[in-house]
Amino acid sequence: MASSPKPWNREKEPFAELISAEAIATRVAELGAKITEDYKDKEDVVVIGVLKGSVIFLADLARHIALPIELEFIGISSYGDATVSSGIVQITQDVSKPIEGKHVIVVEDIVDTGHTVSYLLENLKTRRPASIALASLLHKPDRQARDVKIDYLGFTIPNKFVVGYGLDVAQQYRNLPYIGYVTGA
């Protein structure tokens, strides 16, 4: 029988919990059910995960979408290993097939300044999908510099540097099962 991940040694982690694994699981199931309802009459649905931060969210969300979907990934980078967005966005790896005529759902871990996803949505729209929607686990409105409509939002969060459930600190801790914020302790 499958078991839950072993708890990390919280006393040693330089993070405080912001959103528990349980709260994430509940919200992701709700988002999956909403997507299932909204797309139940659609064909050719493609869910595009934005590497690397979205992979954990995408893996869980996809299993709550009770419809045949294709999974694709796109590599896009704006931060590198820095903790502040440079505003410079690059596609580092493209999707494997054309999206023309398909119903696209872009999956992000976080909309922070909004630069990354604004660039990405504009780019994908030029490829003439039938529709395009955005799912993001997190939104940090205090930092938003670009107007972004998030169709499926997990949580609105305060202006803290967050980590876990796909989000990294210098490429580490993406596998933390909850969302924490860096305390520096």
Q: Tell me the catalytic residues.
A: 112
Shorter beta-carbon distance to ligand PRP: residue 44 or 146? 146
Q: Which residues bind ligand PRP (CB under 6 A)?
A: 50-53, 77-79, 85, 108-116, 168
Query: Shortest approach of ligand PRP to residue 141 CB, angstroms?
Result: 11
Give residue 132's identity as a one-letter amino acid code: I
Where does residue 129 rank: exposed (0-12), middle (13-18), buried (19+ CB within 10 A)?
Answer: buried
Shorter beta-carbon distance to ligand PRP: residue 51 or 62? 51
Q: Side by side, which strands form the sheet with 152-156? A: 90-93, 70-77, 45-51, 103-111, 131-139, 152-156
Shorter beta-carbon distance to ligand PRP: residue 19 or 50? 50
Query: Shortest approach of ligand PRP to residue 40 CB, angstroms?
Result: 28
Q: Please state the separation of Cα 103 from the chain's center in Å.
A: 18
Element (H, E) at 15: strand 15-19
